[in-house]
């Protein structure tokens, strides 16, 4: 059963907040961790793992290993893949005609079946109790309709599970909030982030596919494609927003939100 959904950023500032907005955001992330402490597994969608131009990936490697920090911030550790759930997700998505591939490295199974984790996974995982997980990597080259459909199929798979599963969407938003940042300052980053929070807090997530392509592109985001998967999964049950927060202490915007299943 899909027990709930957490939208979680992957920026270093949430690990050691230095301002009030970021502290509030970190508290939301801790609340996500507490709420999902009793689930059996996570499905984690990250934009900073395997990058493919026109496919989505489901990682089947058994061992997920900390490898690539952001700006030198190490988060050591090793996580296990929920191999049975990962194989089921891959198989059902493939049967549904989704452009999905299975990912592994070195060995099909066992000790040497290993896969690297980046900051895109490690920072959200640092707020979550260690459990088996399934890592999914979306692609910006896949159509909006396909990403939503992928999420719908994913929601079906998770709802057929006897175990409780939480869906985690790793996402940062506009990356053009500061002239001193690597991408400079662009007005679309502020516009996109403001709109995303309005959709979250106003229970208007269904409007995500309607966002103008030019806005998404110019805002310099990595959140949009994972959130479309989230939208599809959310259509399979009723969820209510429990808490949310936003902060932008550097050049990129970060948001946290927790949805729990009704009933």
Q: What is the pLDDT of residue 263?
A: 77
User: 80 and 132 in contact (C-beta within 8 Å)?
Assistant: yes
CA distances from residue 55 to 15, 106, 140 in whole angstroms, order as listed: 32, 21, 9
CA distances from residue 226 to 55, 73, 79, 208, 246 in whole angstroms, order as listed: 13, 24, 21, 11, 18
CA distances from residue 211 to 151, 186, 216 in whole angstroms, order as listed: 18, 17, 7
pLDDT 10s per residue in the chain (263 long)? Answer: 999 999 999 999 999 999 999 999 999 999 999 999 999 999 999 999 999 999 999 999 999 999 999 888 899 999 999 999 999 999 999 999 999 999 999 999 999 999 999 999 999 999 999 999 999 999 999 999 999 999 999 999 999 999 999 999 999 999 999 999 899 999 999 999 999 999 999 999 999 999 999 999 999 999 999 999 999 999 989 999 999 999 999 999 999 999 999 97
Q: Is the pTM of this model over 0.85?
A: yes
Strands 239-247 and 2-8: unpaired
Any residues with CB less than 8 A from the CB of 20 and at least 6 apart, and which? Answer: none
Cα of first residue to Cα of last residue in the chain, in angstroms, is 12
Number of CB atoms found within 10 A of residue 190's CB: 17
Question: Helix or strand or coil: residue 115?
Answer: strand
The CATH superfamily label for domain 2-261 reads LigB-like (3.40.830.10)
Any residues with CB less than 8 A from the CB of 112 and at least 6 apart, and which? Answer: 106
Q: Where are the domains of the chain?
A: 2-261
Cα–Cα distance for residue pair 89/95, rounded to 1 Å: 10
User: 245 and 17 in contact (C-beta within 8 Å)?
Assistant: no
Beta strands, E only, 104-204: 114-118, 133-137, 165-170
């Amino acid at each position: 059963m899909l027990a709930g959904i957490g939208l979680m950023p992957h920026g270093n500032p949430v690990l050691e907040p230095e301002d009030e907005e970021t502290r509030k955001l970190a508290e939301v992330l801790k609340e996500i961790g507490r709420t999902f402490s009793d689930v059996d597994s996570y499905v984690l969608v990250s934009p900073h793992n395997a990058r493919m131009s026109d496919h989505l990936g489901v990682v089947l490697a058994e061992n997920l290993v900390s490898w690539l920090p952001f700006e030198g911030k190490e988060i050591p550790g090793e996580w296990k893949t929920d191999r049975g759930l990962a194989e089921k997700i891959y198989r059902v998505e493939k049967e549904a005609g989704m452009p999905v591939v299975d990912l592994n490295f070195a060995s099909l199974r066992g000790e040497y079946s290993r896969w690297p984790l980046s900051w895109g996974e490690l920072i959200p995982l640092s707020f979550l109790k260690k459990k088996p997980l399934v890592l999914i990597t979306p692609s910006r080259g896949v159509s909006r309709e396909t990403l939503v459909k992928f999420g719908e199929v994913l929601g079906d798979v998770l709802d057929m599970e006897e175990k409780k599963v939480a869906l985690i969407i790793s996402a940062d938003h506009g990356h053009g909030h500061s002239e001193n940042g690597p991408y400079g300052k662009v007005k679309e980053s502020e516009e996109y982030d403001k709109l995303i929070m309005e959709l979250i807090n106003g229970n208007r997530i269904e409007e995500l596919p309607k966002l103008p392509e030019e806005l998404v592109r110019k805002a310099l985001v990595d959140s949009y494609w994972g959130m479309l998967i989230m939208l599809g999964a959310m259509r399979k049950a009723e969820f209510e927003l429990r808490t949310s927060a936003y902060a932008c202490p550097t050049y990129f915007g970060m948001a946290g939100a927790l949805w729990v299943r009704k009933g």
